Amino acid sequence: MQVLATGLLTFLPAATDESKGSFVDLDVAAGWWIGLLVVISILLLVDLLVVHRESHEIRTREAAIESAVWISIGLAFGLAVWWGFGGGAAGEYYSGYLIEKSLSIDNVFVWALILSYFKVPPRYQHRVLFWGIFGALIMRAIFIFAGIALIEKFEWVLYVFGAFLLFTAGKLVFSDSDHVDPANSKFLKLVHKVVPLTDELDGQKLFTRVNGKRLGTPLFAVLLLIEMTDVLFAVDSVPAVLAVSHEQFIVFASNAFAILGLRALYFLLADMHARFSYLQQGLAIILAFVGIKMIIHDWYHIPTWLSLLVIALVLAASVGFSIRSTTEPDVIEIPEDMPPPDER
């Protein structure tokens, strides 16, 4: 009976301690971590073995439905965080989720560039992106735990993260996005030296045999480039999320659920880069805001609800202005001194 009670306590809502500055400090039971990893594993298996068991081209309607489902799952987990840890923890989760989701949109357009360059058929794109997401989850976990460990040991790292986010925001405003050029990728040239590659696809396989020699297919090169670009984006997004939460469980969960829906978002937005003309400016404002929040944390802590509100409003405004700019008809200006048509 005592063993049973102990097991049940593992899954009960964990206590919250507000002693960690102005951020929530949670006593997360092992059951919550196990539950989170089980949910993520089940979602990945269902997506790979049930929903996308057969390779096929994903149309816009299917992508829109899947995106709605993934977003709903991410938002629903925020409610579980609310139930288990309170409103403060839920606010940090939703702030981190919004930051990661908004910054990941740029990642989607990079994927489109890579998949287009290697001429990956649409029916094979989901499988390579699936493994890309799987690797991204592992690398994000490493980044998150390392980042939080650094903050806990050296609090001045927050100033470094904040300054870096301000620098990144400036780059977004005053220069083009630092996108990967597959044709001139030094990373890909290094891969060629280590792993021999072939130019021919072999279905969804990452490796194939040619004349008895094991070679990597173009999908393997695509997967490595996708993982490399995620590392580059994680350098920006992980410090940004750490500006709104220092709790490992919240930061990892918000990152994980935001990343899980990126495949569906890719098939929905890959060809719409031109329509999001103000997204880059919106992301710059978000990065600058969280960077400033990090730098001034010793003097003033911006409340979690205010951070969430600012991020949501900036993201909505950047998308709204982008849509408006692409739907407004072009206006032809007529010089004031031009005579009417009947007088010409």
Domain ranges of the chain: 21-323
User: What is the pLDDT averaged over residues 128-134?
Assistant: 83
Could you tell me the two tokens for 339?
């005579």
Beta-carbon contacts of 304 under 8 Å, excluding residues fewer than 6 positions away, are: 88, 91, 92, 95, 244
What's the whole-model pTM score?
Answer: 0.75
User: What is the pLDDT averaged over residues 46-56?
Assistant: 79
Question: How far is CA 335 from its chain centroid?
Answer: 48
pLDDT at 93: 94
Share of the chain above pLDDT 70, in %: 82
**Radius of gyration of the CA atoms of the chain, in A:** 23
Picking from 10-19, 175-184, 208-217, 254-263, which range would have the lowest pLDDT averaged per residue?
Answer: 10-19
User: Of 343, 292, 78, nearest to 166 (Cα)?
Assistant: 292
Long-range contacts of 251-255 (CB under 8 A, 24+ apart): 251/96, 251/144, 251/148, 252/36, 252/140, 252/141, 252/144, 252/145, 253/36, 253/77, 253/81, 253/93, 254/92, 254/93, 254/94, 254/95, 254/96, 254/97, 254/99, 254/100, 255/96, 255/100, 255/140, 255/144
pLDDT at 253: 94
Residue with tokens 């991410």: 74
Cα distance between residue 68 and residue 52, in whole Å: 17
Could you tell me the two tokens for 4?
């049973």
pLDDT at 36: 93
pLDDT at 151: 78
pLDDT at 182: 63
pLDDT at 111: 79
Q: pLDDT (tens digit, 9 = 90+) per residue, 153-172?
A: 777 777 787 787 788 778 77
Split at pLDDT 50, 70, 90, the class of 41 is very high
CB 239 within 8 A of CB 165: yes
What rounded mean pLDDT belongs to the chain?
77
User: Of 245, 258, 28, nearest to 144 (Cα)?
Assistant: 245
Split at pLDDT 50, 70, 90, the class of 175 is low
Q: pLDDT (tens digit, 9 = 90+) per residue, 237-258?
A: 788 888 888 889 999 999 999 9
Whether the pLDDT of residue 4 is over 80: the answer is: no
Q: pLDDT (tens digit, 9 = 90+) per residue, 256-284?
A: 999 888 888 888 776 565 566 677 777 78
Picking from 69-73, 89-93, 271-275, which range would have the lowest pLDDT averaged per residue?
Answer: 271-275
Whether the pLDDT of residue 137 is over 70: the answer is: yes
pLDDT at 7: 41
Whether the pLDDT of residue 12 is over 70: the answer is: no
Question: How far is CA 333 from its chain centroid?
Answer: 42
State the maximum Cα–Cα separation within the chain, in Å, rounded to a whole number: 100
Picking from 47-56, 81-90, 267-276, 327-336, which range would have the lowest pLDDT averaged per residue?
Answer: 327-336
Neighbours of 305 (CB within 10 A): 13
Coil vs helix vs strand at 16: strand
User: Of 101, 103, 76, 81, nearest to 91 (Cα)?
Assistant: 81
pLDDT at 100: 87
Cα distance between residue 290 and residue 285, in whole Å: 9
